[in-house]
Amino acid sequence: MKVAIVENENQLQDAYSVRKKVFVVEQHVPPEIEIDDLENEATHFVVYDENESPVGAGRFRVVEDYGKVERVCILQSFRGHGVGREIMNKIEEFALDQNIHLIKLNAQTHAEPFYLSLGYTTYSDEFFEAGIPHVSMKKEL
């Protein structure tokens, strides 16, 4: 597995292709919500397997004095093998390079244990976003 920071249109489309498979097809998020007007200001990440196929994605934005991680997803058949951890490590490394020492994210509640295992803590009650229950989580880097 290789986590790439998106640098060209092909890589961006690879990231979108994973996001669409996971969020639109699997989780039924409307496509007009999945791809939003913040894509241009975000740094995108894409994970490739050994055949150079995209299998994971996520994005990172600087908001005020912290970094916001969004749209983290791994294709179903690649889950549970540490790929999610790999992309999160790469995003955190990138944040530190930008001198960002606080990460916040809104986690789907089923993914809360995933982020807890990476050192994030929950700081909100449950709320709904795109019809899916979420909690807000953060981590000091």
Decide: 75 and 115 in contact? Cβ < 8 Å: no
The pair of three-digit structure tokens given for residue 4, joined into one six-digit string: 């790439």
79 vs 104, which CB is nearer to ligand COA?
79
Q: What are phi and psi of 115, to 5 degrees?
A: -70, -35
What is the Cα Rg of the chain in Å?
A: 14
Q: Verify binding: residue 85, ligand COA, rule CB under 6 A.
A: yes
DSSP helix/strand/coil, 5:
strand
Nearest approach in angstroms of CB 122 to ligand COA is 12
Nearer to ligand COA, 30 or 82 (CB): 82
Q: Which two tokens stand for residue 93?
A: 């490394």
Residue showing the smallest CB distance to ligand COA in the complex: 84
Measured from the CB atom, is 9 or 139 closer to ligand COA?
139
Per CB under 6 A, 113 contacts ligand COA? yes
Interacting residue with ligand COA among 17, 108, 122, 136 (CB under 6 A): 108
The partner residues of 59 in beta bridges, in order of sequence, read 44, 70
Q: Quote the Cα angle for 68-69-73, to 5°.
A: 165
Q: Is 67 in the site for ligand COA (CB under 6 A)?
A: no
- What does the binding site for ligand COA look like in residue numbers (CB under 6 A)? 22, 72-74, 79-85, 107-108, 110-111, 113-114, 117
